[in-house]
Amino acid sequence: MIKNLIDKDFQQETNNDITLIDFYADWCGPCKMLSSVIEEISEENKDINIYKVNTDENTECTKKYEVNALPTMLILKNKEIISKIIGLTNKNSIQIEIDKAKD
């Protein structure tokens, strides 16, 4: 299940385990294209946390993680950045990075 995440809940929600965070904006075409890919990943990876962060509404965590291009995805493991994926990419590439975090 994909949840929306806001600045004030960011630290608490990304506390542990493996987390995929999709930084997006409503006006971003590639972000919209990536949305269905993130849905598929969510269905196939029930053991990880998946969040979406609207960069226009949540500037604090956007700045903290130096998100300067959209879409940007972070894969965290116990709050540590394992991977940062910038731009539109395919499901397989994202899954490879998730699998690295699981190892």
**Predicted confidence (pLDDT) per residue in 28-60, tens digit:** 999 999 999 999 999 999 999 999 999 999 999
Q: Is 28 tagged catalytic? A: yes
Instruction: Considering the candidates 18, 20, 31, 101, report the single residue annotated as catalytic.
Output: 31
CATH topology of domain 2-93: Glutaredoxin (3.40.30)
Model confidence pTM above 0.85: yes
The neighbour count for residue 96, using CB atoms within 10 Å, is 11
Contact criterion met (CB below 8 Å) for 5 and 58: yes
Instruction: Supply the pLDDT for residue 8.
Output: 84
- Give the whole-number percent of the chain exceeding pLDDT 70: 98
* Residue 61 bears catalytic tag: no
Lowest mean pLDDT among 10-14, 62-66, 74-78, 89-93: 10-14
| Catalytically annotated residue among 2, 25, 28, 85 | 28
